[in-house]
Amino acid sequence: MPKGFFQVPKAVNEPVKSYAPNSPEKAAVLAAYKKMWNETIEVPLYIGSQQIKTNNTKNMTAPHDHQHIVGTYHVADKTHVDLAISTALAARKEWSQMPWEHRASIFLKAAELIAGPYRAKINAATMIAQSKNIYQAEIDASCELIDFLRYNVEFMTQIYTDQPKSVSDIWNRVEYRPLEGFVYAITPFNFTAIAANLPASAALMGNTVVWKPSDSQVFSAKIIIDVFKEAGVPDGVINIVFGDAAMISDIVFSHPDFAGVHYTGSTHVFKEIFKKIGK
């Protein structure tokens, strides 16, 4: 057991790089962009320790050049969704019992990886997958995501330190437990930072996650997955399935251990989600 009250590093906003002509950061992103543009990748499902390839794949293209294929991704069926759920539930006990400071260190490391060796990659992937310019990608995929990961940890400690007052002869204490089940993260196509933050913030608080990225954001989601793996997110904590949103959601919402949904997207879709959960 820990023998100390730990203070996490003070969160500060990540400085936005200028990407001025002939700057090293611009050269790094353009080199990463060229490499990614000229190769094709294959993205499997990520469920526990498995990288699953199915008999059903779809192409990934850039919005600014629909004819150019940058890769393929594997599409989940019902059995894969069921496996993702059971894997998340199996990982829940160990992950929820991990000391909070260890969970925090994993996502702080993810922030450092994005700020450093993955910065050019994640910016270039966002430029390709979401057709953002270099400055828009920097603000979204790098700076905003780094800020999310760092401030999430700081806000987690604020939540944990929020305790009730005690009176004479009574010591009141509160433990903030993860949800009893798994969390379903449904993420949007247009912001790489939000796509990463919805599963990451739930996992930080001790939850295990089934993550359904947007089909048009799989290319940059792959970089997020690589970062989480390298940062030390254990197998089974964040499980990624691609494919038909309605099919995946129907299976998730009907599962008895579905505990919560983390969603960013249109109001119309949110109302449909709210309606399905209510039924």
The rounded average pLDDT for each run of 10 residues, N- to C-terminus, in the chain (279 residues) is 82 97 97 98 98 97 96 98 99 97 98 98 97 98 99 97 94 96 98 98 99 96 97 98 97 98 95 90
* Residue for token pair 């089909």: 215
Dist. CA 159–CA 219, nearest whole Å: 34
pLDDT at residue 44, rounded to an integer: 98
Q: Give the residue numbers spanning the domain of 57.
A: 24-164+178-278
**Residue among 104, 43, 38, 42 at smallest CA distance from 68:** 38
- Can you tell me the distance from the alpha carbon of 147 to that of 127, in angstroms, rounded to the nearest whole number? 20
Cβ proximity of 185 and 262 under 8 Å: yes
Within a domain: residue 9? Answer: no
pLDDT at 188: 96
Cβ–Cβ < 8 Å for 241, 45: yes
Rg for the chain (alpha carbons), in Å? 20
Looking at residue 278, its pLDDT comes to: 87
CA distances from 41 to 24, 74, 120, 223, 238 (A): 26, 11, 17, 11, 21
Q: What is the pLDDT of residue 279?
A: 80
Q: What is the pLDDT of residue 80?
A: 99
CATH number at residue 113: 3.40.605.10
Flag whether 17 is in a domain: no
Whether 4 maps to a domain, the answer reads: no
Q: What pLDDT, on the 0 to 100 scale, is given for residue 1?
A: 58
Structural domain total, the chain: 1
In a domain, residue 173? The reply is: no
Domain contains 202: yes
How high is the pLDDT of residue 157? Answer: 96
pLDDT at 206: 98
Residue in this structure with the two tokens 């997020």, named with its chain if needed: 224
What pTM, to 2 d.p., does this model score? Answer: 0.95
* CA separation for the pair 274, 265 (Å, rounded): 13
Model pLDDT, residue 197: 99
**What whole-number distance in Å separates Cα of residue 266 and Cα of residue 189?**
11
| 117 residue type, one letter | P
Does residue 270 form part of some domain?
yes
Quote the pLDDT of residue 6.
87
Exposure class string for 117-128: b at 16+ Cβ within 10 A, else e:
ebbbbbbbbbbb
Question: Closest Cα to residue 140, out of 71, 211, 202, 188?
Answer: 188
**Residue 11 forms part of a structural domain:** no
82 within domain boundaries: yes
